[in-house]
Amino acid sequence: KAGVTQTPRYLIKTRGQQVTLSCSPISGHRSVSWYQQTPGQGLQFLFEYFSETQRNKGNFPGRFSGRQFSNSRSEMNVSTLELGDSALYLCASSFGSGYYEQYFGPGTRLTVT
Protein backbone atom coordinates (compact mmCIF):
# COMPACT_ATOMS: atom_id res chain seq x y z
CA LYS A 1 0.00 0.00 0.00
CA ALA A 2 1.26 3.45 -0.82
CA GLY A 3 1.90 5.68 2.15
CA VAL A 4 0.69 9.18 2.87
CA THR A 5 1.86 11.60 0.21
CA GLN A 6 2.25 15.33 0.60
CA THR A 7 2.85 17.94 -2.06
CA PRO A 8 4.84 19.98 -2.52
CA ARG A 9 7.74 18.80 -0.41
CA TYR A 10 9.34 22.22 -0.22
CA LEU A 11 7.95 25.74 -0.52
CA ILE A 12 9.40 29.19 -0.19
CA LYS A 13 6.92 32.04 0.22
CA THR A 14 7.06 35.70 1.08
CA ARG A 15 5.47 37.22 4.16
CA GLY A 16 1.88 38.23 3.45
CA GLN A 17 1.30 35.61 0.76
CA GLN A 18 -0.94 32.59 1.14
CA VAL A 19 -0.12 28.92 0.60
CA THR A 20 -2.01 25.69 0.00
CA LEU A 21 -0.58 22.31 0.96
CA SER A 22 -1.97 18.99 -0.19
CA CYS A 23 -2.21 15.57 1.44
CA SER A 24 -3.30 12.25 -0.02
CA PRO A 25 -4.03 9.68 2.69
CA ILE A 26 -3.42 5.96 2.57
CA SER A 27 -6.04 4.24 0.44
CA GLY A 28 -9.08 3.42 2.57
CA HIS A 29 -8.22 5.92 5.29
CA ARG A 30 -10.93 8.47 5.94
CA SER A 31 -9.37 10.61 8.65
CA VAL A 32 -6.69 13.20 7.97
CA SER A 33 -4.94 15.26 10.63
CA TRP A 34 -2.50 18.11 10.18
CA TYR A 35 0.39 19.00 12.47
CA GLN A 36 2.96 21.78 12.53
CA GLN A 37 6.50 20.87 13.56
CA THR A 38 9.03 23.51 14.62
CA PRO A 39 12.26 23.23 16.63
CA GLY A 40 10.87 25.45 19.37
CA GLN A 41 7.29 24.22 19.76
CA GLY A 42 7.70 20.66 18.56
CA LEU A 43 4.73 18.89 17.01
CA GLN A 44 1.45 20.74 17.39
CA PHE A 45 -1.98 19.62 16.27
CA LEU A 46 -3.71 21.85 13.73
CA PHE A 47 -6.96 20.08 12.83
CA GLU A 48 -8.54 16.78 11.91
CA TYR A 49 -10.96 15.99 9.13
CA PHE A 50 -13.16 12.92 8.85
CA SER A 51 -15.67 12.37 6.07
CA GLU A 52 -15.21 15.94 4.86
CA THR A 53 -16.03 17.39 8.31
CA GLN A 54 -13.63 19.11 10.66
CA ARG A 55 -13.75 17.02 13.83
CA ASN A 56 -11.22 18.78 16.00
CA LYS A 57 -9.12 21.92 15.92
CA GLY A 58 -5.95 22.97 17.69
CA ASN A 59 -4.98 26.37 19.05
CA PHE A 60 -3.98 28.11 15.85
CA PRO A 61 -5.28 31.40 14.45
CA GLY A 62 -7.98 31.52 11.82
CA ARG A 63 -5.33 32.08 9.13
CA PHE A 64 -4.91 28.32 9.21
CA SER A 65 -7.73 26.46 7.55
CA GLY A 66 -8.31 23.17 5.85
CA ARG A 67 -10.74 21.04 3.99
CA GLN A 68 -11.26 17.48 2.95
CA PHE A 69 -12.65 16.19 -0.30
CA SER A 70 -14.95 13.24 -0.94
CA ASN A 71 -11.96 11.06 -1.88
CA SER A 72 -10.44 11.84 1.57
CA ARG A 73 -7.67 13.99 0.13
CA SER A 74 -7.09 17.08 2.21
CA GLU A 75 -5.69 20.53 1.78
CA MET A 76 -4.60 23.08 4.31
CA ASN A 77 -4.33 26.77 3.61
CA VAL A 78 -2.40 29.45 5.42
CA SER A 79 -3.26 33.02 4.57
CA THR A 80 -1.27 36.18 5.25
CA LEU A 81 1.91 34.26 5.95
CA GLU A 82 4.13 35.33 8.83
CA LEU A 83 7.79 34.53 9.41
CA GLY A 84 6.77 32.34 12.34
CA ASP A 85 4.79 30.09 10.02
CA SER A 86 8.03 28.60 8.73
CA ALA A 87 7.79 24.96 9.73
CA LEU A 88 7.42 21.39 8.61
CA TYR A 89 3.74 20.68 8.03
CA LEU A 90 2.83 17.06 8.51
CA CYS A 91 -0.25 15.23 7.45
CA ALA A 92 -1.32 11.99 9.11
CA SER A 93 -4.03 9.61 8.01
CA SER A 94 -5.92 6.95 9.90
CA PHE A 95 -8.70 4.54 9.07
CA GLY A 96 -11.21 6.28 11.27
CA SER A 97 -11.57 9.03 13.81
CA GLY A 98 -10.88 7.74 17.29
CA TYR A 99 -8.86 4.71 18.34
CA TYR A 100 -6.83 4.27 15.21
CA GLU A 101 -3.12 4.56 14.52
CA GLN A 102 -2.04 7.64 12.63
CA TYR A 103 0.42 7.30 9.78
CA PHE A 104 2.43 10.36 8.85
CA GLY A 105 3.55 11.64 5.49
CA PRO A 106 7.03 13.09 4.85
CA GLY A 107 5.80 16.64 5.36
CA THR A 108 5.99 19.91 3.47
CA ARG A 109 8.84 22.20 4.46
CA LEU A 110 7.52 25.78 4.31
CA THR A 111 9.94 28.67 4.52
CA VAL A 112 8.55 32.20 4.82
CA THR A 113 10.95 35.01 3.98
Contact residues: other proteins, CB under 8 A: 4, 31, 33, 35, 42-45, 48, 50, 55-56, 58, 90, 92, 97-99, 101-107
CA neighbor of 34 nearest in space, from 91, 108, 97: 91
Residue 55 or 67 with smaller CB distance to other proteins: 55
Is 88 in contact with 109 (CB distance < 8 Å)? Answer: yes
Question: Shortest approach of other proteins to residue 112 CB, angstroms?
Answer: 20
Q: Is the CB of residue 91 less than 8 Å from the CB of residue 103?
A: no
Cβ proximity to other proteins, 14 vs 39, nearer residue: 39
Q: From residue 17, give the alpha-carbon distance in Å to each of 20, 33, 76, 87.
A: 10, 23, 14, 15
Q: Is 92 helix (H, G, I), strand (E, B) or coil?
A: strand
Compare residues 20 and 102 and give the one whose CB is closer to other proteins: 102
The minimum distance between CB 38 and other proteins, in angstroms, equals 11
CB of 56 to other proteins, least distance (A): 5
